[in-house]
Amino acid sequence: MLIFRFSDGLFPLPFLREPSEPPPIETWPSKLGNPPPTAWTIAGSDSGGGAGIQVDLKVMNAFGVHGCSVITSITAQNSLGVQSMEAVSASMVRAQLDALKEDLPPAAIKIGMLGSAATCRILAGFMESPLTSRAAIFICDPILKSTSGAELLDPKALDILTHEIFPHVGILTPNLPEVEKITGRALQTMEAAAESILEMGVSSVLIKGGHAEGAECHDFWTDGTQSLWLSSPRIETTATHGTGCILSSAITAALAHGQDIPEAITTAKTFMNQCLKAPSNLGKGRGPMLIEPFRNDPQDRPVGVGGVGDPAYRVVRPAMAAPTTGASST
């Protein structure tokens, strides 16, 4: 039985009994008078609603997590691409961080699109605060380009991101093009690339294989001591807008509930597969997915192989039970 820790006690969430059975019905902690876990997302706004702040909050809601937001940039975009973007002022970014820090402390913080060098500097300073660094784990989705190919990070900001922000990050979630941009060289193997990224100071890295070819999608996570491969059949769909945001937000939500990183990654991949199978059928381009409450369907679970202690415990163990209340498909 997995135990999630909350501020005023422990709340047990049993695993699936058998793969053929539906997830057990649970009463979400907020219904018992306990506050839900809180997580932040620091990212850009997507006017099309399929990525960025908008989808981050939907995902957190799907896991029964109270999501707070710090908006770094405003984008004008839809399923066809990004038409325009404008950075939020440095003073406003700082004000949002200060407001949340004063009243709504997070269990986990997701970092997405930062946009400008000024925002990166403010965030780096914020992450250096002893109170901040002790209070939450940072999950960074290093967004450099949109799904449609638009540049979303000022080139001057990349150095700040890698040298001042990465050392505070608990888990980095780059895709293959982002790996090559961050490391400055062509990808040879995921293991070698992960080793190079760990040398930049991040505590662990999940390299996503969605941009590779083949019938299977392979992702690789390591913290330098433990490692884990997750594989799932590739899902053919044009509804791929916001995939990186969805995955990193799901990891953030699972971590906010108390799962460790390998467990949270497995939970998030299960949720990602659930979303990829549920296109919204909106827009003329790469459209958004339906963000529905986490079902924890065994058919959506990835296959895991790796050296993370006891493989049977880390890999075969089911993800967290699905919430049945306190979440909606907004």
Confidence label for 130 from pLDDT (cuts 50, 70 and 90): low
3-state secondary structure 42-73: EEEEECCCCCHHHHHHHHHHHCCCEEEEEEEE
Tokens representing residue 321 in the block: 């039970």
How do 108-111 and 81-87 pair as beta strands? unpaired
pLDDT above 80 (res 318): no
Residue with tokens 């949340």: 100
Active-site residue numbers? Answer: 208, 240, 242-245
* Average model confidence (pLDDT) across the chain: 82
Q: Write out the CATH class of domain 2-316.
A: alpha beta
Q: Does the global pTM surpass 0.85?
A: no
pLDDT at 214: 83
Q: Which CA distances in Å does 129 have to 99, 132, 162, 298?
A: 15, 5, 18, 41
Per domain, the residue ranges of the chain are 2-316
The per-residue DSSP string of 218-250 comes to EEEEE-SS-EEEEEEE----S--TTHHHHHHHH
Residues 228-285 pLDDT 10s: 999 999 999 988 888 999 999 999 999 999 999 999 999 999 999 999 999 999 989 9
- Please, what's the b/e burial string for 179-190 (b: 16 or more CB within 10 A of its CB; e: otherwise)? bebbbeeeeeeb
pLDDT above 50 (res 329): no
CA distance 192 to 281: 38
